[in-house]
Structure 1
Amino acid sequence: MPAIPALLEKHLSASRRELLAHVRRIAEAGRLPVYLVGGFVRDLLLGLTPDDFDFVVEGDAPALARAVARELGGEVMAHAPFGTATWFVPGGAAIDFATARTETYPQPAALPVVTPGASIAADLQRRDFTINAMALRVDGAHFGELLDPHGGQSDLAARAVRVLHPGSFVDDPTRLFRAVRYEQRLGFTIASGTLALIPGAWDALAALTGDRVRHEFELIFREPRVVAMLARLAGREILPYVHPALRWGEREAARAAIIPELPVADWRLASPLEPDALYFALMLGAASPVEVTGALARLNTNGVVSRAVIEGIHLRGAWTRPSEAVAILGELSELGVVVAYVLHEGARAALNDYLARWRFVRAETIGDDLIARGLTPGPQFKRLLWELRAARLDGVITDIAGERELIQRWLTETKL
């Protein structure tokens, strides 16, 4: 393996190396042992470009963050009870500083009780997997020293995801999802001993709050290998222990193949398309209405996502004309129609037409025009405006002259 300085030279930009040099010097002046930890070290040793800095300090981390900000600018937001601080670097980046700490779990699946003021060795002991339990010292003359008390380098070489102790999944069942995420993202394999611990965490997983479970799914939905991750969760029986209605198989994977291509530019969606409703709907597509409602409650999804999932799953549209489609689909949320597009392959052409064209079709005649002709706003008024729009949608009329003829015919037939 190349020396640490060579890896930093190769995989960090010049600006990041300069920032690290400042932290090194300021920490040395304050006699503070400082470490880069977690994913930074893992990715660096794998020859990848680390996403961000994550500093752990054996000492006062907020004080170090403030000292760095005094020299380089930016703002610091400190969280004194936890001994942490976030430095908002000029230009928009955010870098975390944390005092080395221990964590204890009062009960399975509970949030940990954090105690700042620990050694780096104790801090690494609380980590999720061996490949994330390494630290790279960066202060003063100690710069480049690698701490690996749990065999992280060996597991990187073996391409294995391994927990640090047998109670890891029971303490924090979100690690079940993270194990799968790292395995699939990095092309690793969950170690056999770690796999054997999964069934022992079922009760803890059931006790995990909906918000925490949903957050893990949301992270997975944004991964390039989301389909493989969901298949792995299903294969290890993790999905049904979140809720029995959650399923993932070949059919769901085939339907999901369209998601990376969405949204189609012609749709002109009102809001950026987030993937959560699409994948939750796929996992619940074969469930009963009661099961769908129960699963969404378990996951504590927000109203927008819940509505879209229910709309998309339960859509049973049968239309022969564009106006019939618009009458049905116009009652759904925009996201609900996109969910339906993913779920109902046979209806994709019509749903695409709705999203790209039909929903934007309007008659040129507006309410003021009808009032000018002596009509009084009311139920019949609204019906006429819809009939004008429907005639445009179905190609019965194509211009304002056709609209006027339809209005006159309608007035004659209804004797208004």
Structure 2
Amino acid sequence: MIGRLNKILTAEMREIIARLGRLTDAPLYLVGGPVRDLVMNRKILDLDMAVEADPADLGARLAADLHGTVLVHPRFHTCKITTPAGTVVDLAQTRRESYPEPARLPVVEPGASIADDLARRDFSIQAMAMRLNGSDAGQIVDPFQGRRDIDRRLIRILHPNSFRDDPVRAFRAARYSARFGFRLERQTAAALRDLTRRPEWLRIASDRVMDEWHRAFEEEKWIAALRALGRMGLLAWLGIRWPVDLKALRRMDGSFKTVRTWYDPPTPFPLWASRFVAFLSLVPAPVRLRIGRSLPFSKIIKKPFQAAVDAARLATTLNADLRPSRIVDLLERVPPEWMPVLHARAAGRARRHIQRYIYIWRGARPPVTGDDLRNWGVPPGPAYPRLLHRIRAAALDGRIRVPEDIRRIVERAKI
């Protein structure tokens, strides 16, 4: 396995593991998702590691060696190291966890063995570790038969109360099933159905639900992830009835790929947020408003979330026979991050209007400036923006053919 690991890891990741092996004699392990990806021969993006020692000092020394940064979380005995190249290392002390009541954060007991640490995890495919130092380097620790479940393409919880302890695991089950094409093992599926009938299901902190939504919409197979969430009954937390219009979502997905290429530089709005707004534009307005009240939207998504309420209305307006100036007036107020949603909701004439706006009219300016108006005897003041807007509209609509046409608009405004 060491040979396969070295082929999958980047050179920097291999150097990080080597440095940590030199910095500590305590047992050090690769754990969780990276081991799953190693077994499945998938690319490893970040390093998730556990050590049978306090990670704070070890993380600080590693960050200093790499000229990176370290963020320590003493409550959970974890730290996150980020290298200048952007590689992220999550380093945690092996620990036990217990849940004093369902749907609440666990009580952490540090100083456990790797077997205890794996027993606290969500699914068997996540409950594997690989020893990275010492005479057992390269050995896979797999007490819950995660490799067998990968071969059988199964998502399996480790104990019957897993979803009740942490209902957010249900969202992860949906994401993993969509990402890998796995199905829920029979008792796992029964436990999830039981969860959605219990009050614990509604006690999940809204910020944790928002984080899971974020992750679901970041998935490459995000529509499959939504389908899994719907079929498992997990959209009920937000009051969304399944099914939604999957054909519309697929059209929107195509629009994201198209519309995001229209902007140079590309819109900084995250793709996951565009997808989220697109999905919300398909649910009934009362449900959308309830979601807006119940989830802690960040600043980056709050404005386009509110704008999504008007997507269908604007798409209908754009389907009329409109002058270019009216199209520009309507679309220049639309933030770039909302344009994929609008493009996907539009059809026929409305979609052609959007494309012409992007390729021809976007950023249109009047053919004259305020200095020109002053030279023509128009006194500076609040009339300037209105007059320049009128001149731009005339230019867009083809009503300005010679400079005298502009002078006539100005003269009429002075009367």
* TM-score range normalised by the length of the shorter chain: 0.7 to 0.9
One-letter code of the match for 2:363?
F
Q: Does 1:317 align with 2:317?
A: yes
| 2:9 paired residue among 7, 12, 20 | 12
Cα 1:395–1:114 shift into 2, 3 Å: farther
Counterpart in 1 of 2:47?
53
Q: Which residue of 1 aligns with 2:329?
A: 327
2:227 matched to 1:231? yes
Q: Are the equivalent residues in 2 in contact too, given 1:25–1:140 (CA < 8 A)?
A: no
> What TM-score, normalized by structure 2, do the two folds share?
0.87
Q: Which runs of 4+ in 1 moved over 6 A?
A: none
Residue identity in the other structure for 2:331: L
Equivalent runs, 1:75-114 vs 2, <5 Å = 75-89=69-83, 91-114=85-108
Letter in 2 for 1:115: E
**1:357-372 correspondence runs (5 A):** 357-372=360-375
Gap regions ≥5 residues in structure 2 = none
**Closer/same/farther in 2, CA of residues 300 and 9 from structure 1, 3 Å limit:** closer
The Cα of 1:382 is off from its aligned counterpart by: 3.4
Deviates most, 157-166 or 283-292: 283-292
- Which digits, 9 at most, give the CA deviation of each residue in 1:123-180, with x for residues without a partner? 1111111000011112211212221111212101111111112222222222222112
Mean Cα displacement is larger for which, 102-111 or 406-415?
Answer: 406-415
What do you get for the CA RMSD once the two structures are aligned? 2.7
- Compare 238-247 and 336-345 and name the one that shifted more: 238-247
| Conservation of the 8 A alpha-carbon contact between 1:211 and 1:299 | yes
Would you say 1:135 and 2:129 are equivalent positions? yes
- Mapped to 1, the partners of 2:363 and 2:408 lie a distance apart of 25
CA distance change for structure 1 residues 73 and 371 in 2, over 3 Å: closer, same or farther? closer
Distance in 2 (alpha carbons) for counterparts of 1:269 and 1:14: 31
Aligned to 2:305: 306
Give distance in 1, aligned partners of 2:325 and 2:84: 54
Alpha-carbon deviation of 1:234? Answer: 1.6
| 227-236 or 332-341: bigger deviation | 332-341
- Give the partner amino acid of 2:375: A
SS in 1 for 2:50: strand
Q: Deviations over 1:208-237 (max 9, x none)?
A: 233222221221222211111112212222
Contact 2:260 2:267 in 1 (8 A): no
**Structural mapping, 1:326-405, within 5 Å:** 326-346=328-348, 347-378=350-381, 380-397=383-400, 402=402, 404-405=403-404
State the alpha-carbon separation in 2 of the partners of residues 343 and 110 from structure 1.
40
1:230–1:248: 8 Å Cα contact kept in structure 2? no
* Selected match of 2:271 from 259, 271, 275: 275
Aligned to 2:240, the other structure's residue is in SS state coil
Paired residues of 1:276 and 1:305 also in contact (CA < 8 A): no
**Mapped contact 1:277–1:308 kept (Cα < 8 A):** no
In structure 1, give the amino acid aligned to 2:38: L
How far, CA to CA, are the matches of 1:250 and 1:73 in structure 2? 47
TM-score normalised over the length of structure 1: 0.87
Q: Name the SS of the counterpart of 1:196 in structure 2.
A: helix
Deviations 1:249-285 (A, max 9, x none): 3333332331451434344467324234433343333
- Equivalent residue of 1:43, what SS? helix
Aligned CA distance change for structure 1 residues 392 and 269 (closer, same or farther; 3 Å): farther
Which range is displaced more, 166-175 or 376-385? 376-385
Query: Counterparts of 1:345 and 1:310 in 2: how far apart (Å)?
Result: 18
Kindly indicate whether the alpha-carbon contact (under 8 Å) linking 2:177 and 2:228 is maintained by their aligned counterparts in 1.
Answer: no
Q: In structure 2, give the amino acid aligned to 1:144.
A: G
The 3-state SS of whatever aligns with 1:193 is: helix
Q: Aligned residue for 1:200?
A: 194
Aligned-partner Cα distance in 1 for 2:110–2:187? 31
Residues 308 and 337 of structure 1 are in contact (CA less than 8 Å); yes or no, is this contact kept in structure 2?
Answer: no
Q: Distance in 2 between matches of 1:142 and 1:94?
A: 25
Q: Which amino acid aligns with 1:354?
A: Y
**Greater Cα offset, 235-244 or 319-328:** 235-244
> Are 2:160 and 1:166 aligned?
yes
Q: Distance in 2 between matches of 1:37 and 1:240?
A: 32
In the alignment, is residue 175 of structure 1 matched against residue 208 of structure 2?
A: no
Task: Answer yes or no: is 1:285 the counterpart of 2:288.
Answer: no
Shifted more, 14-23 versus 182-191: the winner is 14-23
> Aligned partners of 1:18, 1:118: CA distance in 2, in Å?
27
Q: How far did residue 348 of structure 1 move? A: 2.0
1:135 maps to amino acid: A
Per the alignment, residue 209 of structure 2 pairs with: 213
Q: Paired residues, what number? A: 406
Q: Matches of 2:248 and 2:54 in 1, distance apart?
A: 49
Distance change (3 Å), C-alpha of 1:142 and 1:197: same
Could you tell me whether the CA contact under 8 Å between 1:231 and 1:249 is conserved in 2? no
Q: Which secondary structure does the structure 2 equivalent of 1:114 belong to?
A: strand
**1:248 Cα deviation after fit:** 2.7
348-357 vs 86-95, which moves further: 86-95
Cα distance in 2 between the residues matched to 1:106 and 1:134: 25
